[in-house]
Structure 1
Amino acid sequence: MGLPLLLGLLFSQTGGLLAHSIEQLNSCITAENLCLADPVCNATYRILGTCSHSYAKNSFFTLDHGAWNKCLQAETVIRNSHFQECKCQRRTQKQEEHCLRIYWTVHSTVSKGDFNLEMSPYKNVVSEESLKMDYNKLASQVPESHLVGDTTNPCLQVAQVCSLNRRCRRLRSTYVSNCSPKDGHACNQRKCHRELRHFFGKVDMDFTKRFLFCSCQDEFCGERRRKTIVPDCSFQGSTQPNCLVLLDTCLKDYICKSRLADFQEQCKPSSSSPDGCFQHKHAACLEAYMGMIGTPMTPNYIRNSTADVTLWCSCENSGNHKDVCDEIRSSFSNNRCLRNAMQSQMGLNQLNRKNQEELHFIPSPDIQGDGTSTVLTANLHWESAKKIPQEVDIQNEQLRSHSAYSGGQLSLLTLTLMLLLLLLGSP
C-alpha cells in the first residue's frame, strides 16, 4: 500500500475522532490559556475583566457612555477570538467555577442586570453524562427480604434503595447532616447548599429524579418529597426575601447565575408546543431545574399536599420593578414547560384529569420529623423493580453504543499509526 493511499485511509477513518477531540478542547479554560499567550488578546481580555469585576460588585452597575462603549468593544473583540462559542462542562466536572468565571467575563455586558440571561454556559452534549448507578438494576439485585415497609410511598422506596448503595448513602447522609440544626443552633445554609450541589451533581439522575419527582398520592409521601432537600435549611427562612434581592444574590454568584441561565434555556415555555417546552426536551428541563437546588435560588414544593413548586421569596415592596419580580416567581411557579416535564417524570400524564385532581389532597397538620431519615423502612415490589423504564433502557443502549464506537475508533487509529510508522521507517 502506497504512502498517499495510507494517509488517505488514516484521515478518512480518524477525521470524526479528531473533530470530536477538537470540540472537547473548545472550553473556556482552553480559550483563556490561548488568549493569555497572545499579547493583543491578553490586553483586551484584561480590559474586559475590569468591566466584569464592576458588574460582579453590582449587577445593576451603570458606566458612563465612554466606559460602556470601551467594554462593548472589548467584548466584541474577545468573543470573536479564542473565546468564540466557548462553553463549560456540566457540573459533574472539576474546575466548574473557574470555567464559568471566564464565560461570564466574556459575556459580562450582554447580561448585565437582566433577568433573562443570554444563553446557557454549559455544553449541551448528551454523551457527556455517564451513568454511574442504575436504580432499577440495583433494586432488582436486592433480596426481597431486605425490603419491608409501605409499598404505597414511592419516595420512601427511593430512600430505601439509595441506602443500599454506598455512594448514594454517603452523599445523602452528608447533606442531611449539614442541612440539619445542631445543638439547638440553626444550620449553616451555605454548607447545606454546597453539599446539596455535590449530591445532585455526583449521584446519578436515575436516583435524584426519583427523589424529587416521586409520584405521591397521600400526604405522608408528599411530605417526604417536599423535605427531600431539608427545606427548613436549604429553602425557607423566618421571613421571605424579595425576589429581586434573591436574583441579585444569584447574579453575583457564577454557579447560581450559570444554572439560572441553563434553567431559562432548557425550561423556556412555549404556548404553541404540545409538550409546553420551546426546546422540546423534558429531561433537559428537569436536569436544569435540579441544577438550581443548592443555589441561593433553590426551589421546592410549596407544601406537602401539592406538586407545585416555587421560590422562597415575595414581590411585596418591589416598586417599579414588580413586573420583573413577578416574572422571576412565575418562571418556577407558573412555568408550563417545567410543570409538564415534572408531570411526565411522575407519570401524571398517564392519568386522567380526575386522578390528577385527587393528587391535590387535603393537607393535615405538619408531621413531626425532618423526613430525611435513611432508615430501611420501605418495601419495593419485586416485579416492578425488575422493570427498567424505556427511557433509561434507551439511554443505556446509547451509552454502550457510544463506548463501543469510541473504542473501535481508537483501536483503528492506533493500528493505522503503527502501520504508518513502519512504512516510514522502512528503507
Structure 2
Amino acid sequence: MGLPLLLGLLLARAGGLVLSLEQPHNCITAENLCMTDPSCNATYLTFQQCSQSLAKSSYEAKDKCLEAKTFIRNSYFQECKCPRRTRKKEERCLRIYWTIHPTLPQADFHLEVSPYEAAASEESSKTKYNKLATQASGSRVFGDSTNICLEAANVCQLDHKCVRLRTHYAQICSAEYPCDQRKCHRGLRHFFERVSMEITKPLLFCPCQDDVCGKRRWNTIVPECSFQSNSKPNCLLLLDSCLKDHICKSRLVDFQEQCKSLDTSSDGCFRRNNHAACLEAYMGMIGTPMTPNYINNSTADVTLWCSCENSGNQKEDCDQILESFADNRCLKSAIQSQMGLNQVNTDIEDQSQFTPSLNIQGDGTSTVFTSQMYQGSEEKKFPVLKDNQSDLTGSSRDCRSSLILTSTLLLLLLGPP
C-alpha cells in the first residue's frame, strides 16, 4: 500500500478529515482515497449528481451543489492530474478529472490547464533508434546522402512492436475497404501511444526534399481514411465532437498549453525550449476527431481537415481553431527543430550516417505494408545504468523516512486523547 493511501486511510478513520498530508498526484488514487472517507464519499456522490438542471431547480439545490463543488475541489482531488498515454487507465483518470473540472471553451477558444502531468522537457535518448538504424544500414557509412525518412521507415520495420501496430492500423485504415474512421483513429492512437517516441518521431517528422519522400511521410497518418473525407467539415463541428470525447478534449488542452505561441519569443513559443513537449502534445492529437496532418508533400506545414466557410457570425472563432494548427509559430518551430536534428550540428553530435538497406519493406509511397510480419525475437531490454544504483540508495533512505512518519502518525492517532 502506498504511503499517500495509507496516510489517507489513517486520517479518515481518525476524524473524517479530507486532506491528507501528501496530496495524491493521480486522479484515480484521489478517487480511491475519497471513497474510503465517508464524508468525502457522500459529498462526491452528491457532486456527481449535480447537473445544471438540478442546480437551477432551486436556490437550495444550487447552494448544495456549490458547497459540494467547493468541498471536492479542496479535498484529495485538489492537485490531481493524469499520467500521459496510460492506455486503459487514461480514460478513467480523465473522466474523474473532468468531473471535478467541468469546463467549456472560453471566448478565445482556449480551455483550462492541461489534465496531464508535466511533459518531458528534454529529448529522450536515441540509443535504440541508432542501434536499429545501424542494423538496417548494414553498417555502411554513406555521409549526408542518407535518406532519413527511408531510414526511419526501415527502423520501424526492425522493431517488432512498431511494425506490428503500423501494419494493424494500415490494414484497418486502408482505402481499399470501407473506412471506419473510429477504428482507424483508435489504431493510430495505439501506434503513437505504445511505440517508443524515439522511433515514431523520426517517422513522422523526418525532413523531405522530394515529393516521393513527402508522400510517404504524409501517408503515415493514412489521409484517405483518418484525415480526409469527401468534404471538409466545419471546424466548429470538429471542435464540438472533440469536446464530447474525454481523450480528445484532454489532448487538445494539452496541445494548447504546450504549443502556445508568443510573438515576442525567439522560437515563437510561450515556453521557450519546449519543443519536445510541444511535439509530444501534437502527436497526441493524431487519432482523435481533430487529427492533423501535413498540408501537402512538399512542405512541413500542418493543418486540420476542416473549413471555416459558412460559419456565419462565428467565423472568427472558427478561424482560431484552424489557425491553432495551420498558423502556430511554436509548432512550426518545434517541427523544424526536430527535422534538423539528424542533419546538422555534426560537430556537436558525433554521429555516423548510414545508408538504408534496400531489402527492407516500408519505402513505398502509400500506406501499403508487407503482409509478412517481422518474426524476430522480442527486443532485448537494455541494462539499468549504474547511476541508478545511487538512486536506489536514496530510495532506501526515503523508505525509512516514510516508515518513521507512518509510525509517528499511528502513535498520535491511536494513543490516548
SS of corresponding position for 2:394: helix
Which runs of 5 or more structure 1 residues have no equivalent in the other structure?
1-21, 56-61, 352-368, 377-395, 419-427
SS of corresponding position for 1:300: strand
Deviation string, structure 1 residues 65-103 (Cα, Å, up to 9, x no partner) = 957766554333211111011001110454100000000
What is residue 30 of structure 2 aligned with on the other side? 31
Measure, in 2, the Cα distance between the counterparts of 1:305 and 1:218: 7
* Number of equivalences: 350
Equivalent residues of 1:162, 1:169 under 8 A apart: yes
Equivalent residues of 1:132, 1:204 under 8 A apart: no
What is residue 75 of structure 2 aligned with on the other side? 81
Deviation string, structure 1 residues 229-270 (Cα, Å, up to 9, x no partner) = 101111110011111111110001000000001000000001
Which runs of 5 or more structure 2 residues have no equivalent in the other structure?
1-20, 345-363, 372-381, 404-417
SS of corresponding position for 2:236: helix
Measure, in 2, the Cα distance between the counterparts of 1:309 and 1:121: 25
Deviation string, structure 1 residues 383-413 (Cα, Å, up to 9, x no partner) = xxxxxxxxxxxxx9xx947734432334556
How much is the aligned-residue C-alpha RMSD, in angstroms? 3.7
Measure, in 2, the Cα distance between the counterparts of 1:128 and 1:273: 19
Alignment of 1:8-407 (within 5 A): 25-51=24-50, 71-109=65-103, 115-124=109-118, 126=120, 134-142=128-136, 144=138, 153-182=147-176, 185-280=177-272, 281-347=274-340, 371-374=366-369, 400=385, 403-407=388-392
Measure, in 1, the Cα distance between the counterparts of 2:285 and 2:369: 24
SS of corresponding position for 2:289: coil
1:232–1:274: structure 2 CA closer, same or farther, 3 Å change rule?
A: same
What is residue 381 of structure 1 aligned with on the other side? none
Q: Deviation at 1:159?
A: 1.0
Equivalent residues of 2:83, 2:117 under 8 A apart: yes
Normalization by structure 2: what TM-score? 0.74
Deviation string, structure 1 residues 359-394 (Cα, Å, up to 9, x no partner) = xxxxxxxxxx86124469xxxxxxxxxxxxxxxxxx
Equivalent residues of 1:266, 1:284 under 8 A apart: yes
Give the residue type in structure 2 aligned to 1:208. Answer: T
SS of corresponding position for 2:96: helix
Deviation string, structure 1 residues 326-357 (Cα, Å, up to 9, x no partner) = 11000000001001000111119989xxxxxx
Give the residue type in structure 2 aligned to 1:257. Answer: K
Equivalent residues of 2:232, 2:306 under 8 A apart: yes
Measure, in 1, the Cα distance between the counterparts of 2:398 and 2:313: 62
1:43–1:159: structure 2 CA closer, same or farther, 3 Å change rule?
A: same
1:129–1:167: structure 2 CA closer, same or farther, 3 Å change rule?
A: farther
Measure, in 1, the Cα distance between the counterparts of 2:130 and 2:71: 50
Q: Deviation at 1:194?
A: 0.7
What is residue 415 of structure 2 aligned with on the other side? none
Give the residue type in structure 1 aligned to 2:367. Answer: T
Mapped pair 1:409 → 2:394: yes
Normalization by structure 1: what TM-score? 0.72
Measure, in 2, the Cα distance between the counterparts of 1:37 and 1:285: 38
* Percent of paired sites with the same residue: 60
